[in-house]
Amino acid sequence: MFKQLQDMALFALVAEGGSFTAAARRAGLPKSSVSQRISQLEQSLGLRLLNRTTRQLNLTFAGERYLIHCQEMLQASERADQAIERLRDNPSGRLRITSPAGIGATLLARCNAGFQQQFPDVTLEVSVSDDMRDLVQDGFDIALRTGKPQDSSLIGRRIGYCQRYLVAAPGYLAQHSPILHPQQLAEHRCIAHRAWSEWLLKRGEEWYSWLLPPTHMTDNLVYARECALQGAGITLLPRFLTHDLTRDNALVQVLPEWEVEGNELWLVYPSRKLNSPALACFIDYAIGSPVFTEFYK
């Protein structure tokens, strides 16, 4: 089938150029190869397409009818090339993105709003969930991930590093004695994300690790933040979920002298080569977006 499509294109070149020589020049093939392939095409069709003389070529009736379809095929190929060229110049089409819930409901939403203003023809389909989605199997173009991707078959681009803080509502803390050491966390109600069930804290050369009891566990950081705001206890949140709230004193940092290990943000996608213009533009836009760089440095 593929060889026949090529031979159809050759036949159109012969008919339009009026000779095997002209067609061979345009196709970059020897004249003898063009003549042979047209003969093979006629044999496969069971009809003669050209009347050959020593001086000229004339189309048969079958050749005239066949040429119409060959030219339509070439025109379709040209339209396909033009469509791809327009796509490169003006990215469009669907882009499927998956992101952790905390980032997706905040930073990614702000990033995407700006991205669509710049690339309005790109359609976004965004999955906001802390479930780890399989990009290839689930048909996603790109994912935001906290932490370096473990799958070596995926391409990862690091955006930056974000600090995390232990926080609680001032009203909750006012009901308890001051917290001076992580050992006292065991005396408090805490809301833990299932991915961060162990809190590792550092002060100078001193380290403290605490495995949280499963008294209040969630898979959503926004939920944990809202619980903390309502006085439900202490939780661990990335800086981008606490920035405005700690500034306005709606949440207070707990154990501020102790550092908690932060996390990295990565863009992850299946391949480095021949990505769609929409995906390539999104990668460049996200990496340079101040929405992310403000918190991931």
**Residue located via tokens 């002209």:** 22
Domain ranges, residue 242: 163-262
> Cα angle vertex 267, ends 167, 223, to 5°?
30
Question: What are the residues facing 98 on neighbouring strands?
Answer: 127, 143
Domain edge (last residue) among 89, 124, 143: 89
2-17 helix and 61-89 helix, angle to the nearest 10 degrees: 110
Are 61 and 99 part of one and the same domain?
no
How do residues 245-293 score in pLDDT, each as one tens digit?
Answer: 888 889 999 999 999 988 889 999 987 666 788 898 899 899 989 988 8
The CATH number for 270's domain is 3.40.190.10
| Percentage of the residues of the chain whose pLDDT score is greater than 70 | 96
Are 74 and 38 part of one and the same domain?
yes
Q: Among candidates 74, 73, 128, which has minimal Cα distance to 102?
A: 128
SS3 assignment, position 28: coil
Distances (CA, A) of 180 to 61, 170, 176: 96, 16, 12
CA distance 8 to 278: 34
Are 221 and 279 part of one and the same domain?
no
**Residue located via tokens 């001086």:** 55
Domain edge (last residue) among 60, 89, 118: 89
Are 287 and 140 part of one and the same domain?
yes
Segment holding 168, helix H or strand E? strand 155-168
The total number of structural domains in the chain stands at 3
How do residues 115-172 score in pLDDT, each as one tens digit?
Answer: 999 999 999 999 998 888 888 888 899 999 988 777 777 888 888 889 999 999 999 9
Torsion angle of C-alpha atoms 281, 262, 104, 274, degrees rounded to 10 = 30
Are 84 and 98 part of one and the same domain?
no
Are 157 and 269 part of one and the same domain?
yes
Amino acid (1-letter code) at residue 221: L
- Give the phi and the psi of residue 87 in degrees, each rounded to 5: -65, -40
Mean pLDDT of 64-77: 86
Are 155 and 276 part of one and the same domain?
yes
Count other C-beta atoms under 10 Å from residue 222's C-beta: 16
User: pTM of the predicted model, to two decimals?
Assistant: 0.67
Amino acid (1-letter code) at residue 7: D
pLDDT at site 273: 67
CA distance 69 to 202: 74
> Cα angle vertex 220, ends 99, 283, to 5°?
15
Are 122 and 72 part of one and the same domain?
no
Distances (CA, A) of 135 to 102, 125, 203, 275: 19, 13, 39, 14
Mean residue pLDDT of the chain comes to: 88
